[in-house]
Amino acid sequence: MKRSLTSRLIGYLALGLVSLAPLSLVAAEEKTVNVTVTAGVAAAPPVSITLHERHGHVTPCKGKCTHTGGGLIDVAQPSPDTVLVTMSGAVIANSEMKFDLEQCFEVTFDDPKLKHAKLLIEGRVIGVLRGGHKGSAEYSDASAGVSCPPAELVGVSVPTHSVSGCESLSVNDHDGPKAVPIVPGKYTLHQSFCIAANTSSFLCKRPSAEFSPESLDPLWISYYDPFHGVKKDSFGFQVIVKVVADNDVPPPPKEKAAAEVIPARVERKAVVTAKPLP
């Protein structure tokens, strides 16, 4: 009797577990939620830049027992309304490197409701200058301007820096941003840059002007370099040109107030009447 009762209890328990299994599966299925994330698409800017013909040149000039590196002009357009130009290179001892770029572009108002826009330009120079015992290093002519021939609209110019003797200098200079109102049409960006190093000694430490992300050969740099380990990812002369919508509409000209009319002054004369004597 006890065995039959025990077997019955075990049977009932097994049936209960079997009956609860589908419910647990359904509950598990109901808890599963699928979430789909779709990347949003950025709205197109109301005004854009289209790049046209370009003339870019880098001219190195080397003497004896000298070294040059880099010499690149990179023109990129990270977004339809922005242009990024980077000039990079390095020179050691008696050498020089000149950069020159002429980039034509067109500004377009893509939003028909847009009536006013402005152009922004800014420039920055990042690099290092190392002087030698009897030498010097410098960068110069770091300038850029946007023109609508024959007139120049706006430009930036980063000041010149140089070192001599045992001097060394890390440079991070910036100019801008400068803005100017702009209308749809064709324009020209002109950018220039120059780096140079000179020395009269071939036995001492060599002067250098380094404005390139690529590291120079250690044979050309002293083991006791004052800028050892510096990050060079952003080295070079970089100019950013950007067009943005200008919501600040100029107010209409004020009407001239009508001239106030002042009535003419009337002089009144006293009238004297003479009475006859009695």
pLDDT at site 182: 92
Backbone φ and ψ of 149, nearest 5°: -45, 135
User: 36-93, pLDDT tens digit by residue?
Assistant: 666 555 677 889 999 999 999 999 998 777 888 888 999 999 999 999 999 999 998 8
> How confident is the prediction along the chain (278 residues), in pLDDT tens digits per residue?
445 666 776 766 666 666 655 555 545 555 556 666 665 556 778 899 999 999 999 999 987 778 888 889 999 999 999 999 999 999 988 889 999 999 999 999 988 888 899 999 999 999 999 887 778 899 999 999 999 888 889 999 999 999 988 888 999 999 989 999 999 999 999 999 999 998 877 666 688 899 998 867 777 776 677 777 788 889 999 999 999 988 754 555 555 544 555 555 655 555 555 555 55
Predicted confidence at residue 70, as pLDDT, reads 85
Distance from C-alpha of 195 to C-alpha of 13, rounded to nearest angstrom = 89
Question: What is the distance between the alpha carbons of residues 109 and 45, in angstroms, rounded to a whole number?
Answer: 9
Residue entry with tokens 């647990």: 24
Query: Taking phi first (over 0 means left), then psi (-120 to 50 degrees means alpha), and beta for anything else, what does residue 271 get?
Result: beta
The domain segmentation of the chain, as residue ranges, is 47-245
CA-CA distance, 245 to 112, in Å (whole number)? 12
Are the C-beta atoms of 125 and 194 separated by less than 8 Å? Answer: no
pTM passes above 0.75: no
pLDDT score for 164: 87
Check whether the bond before 22 is cis (ω within 30° of 0).
Answer: no
Preceding amide of 159 cis, omega within 30? no
Q: Where are the beta strands (DSSP E) in 93-164?
A: 95-109, 117-130, 135-148, 151-158, 161-164
Check: CB of residue 91 under 8 Å from CB of residue 197: yes
C-alpha neighbours within 13 Å on the C-beta side of residue 178: 17
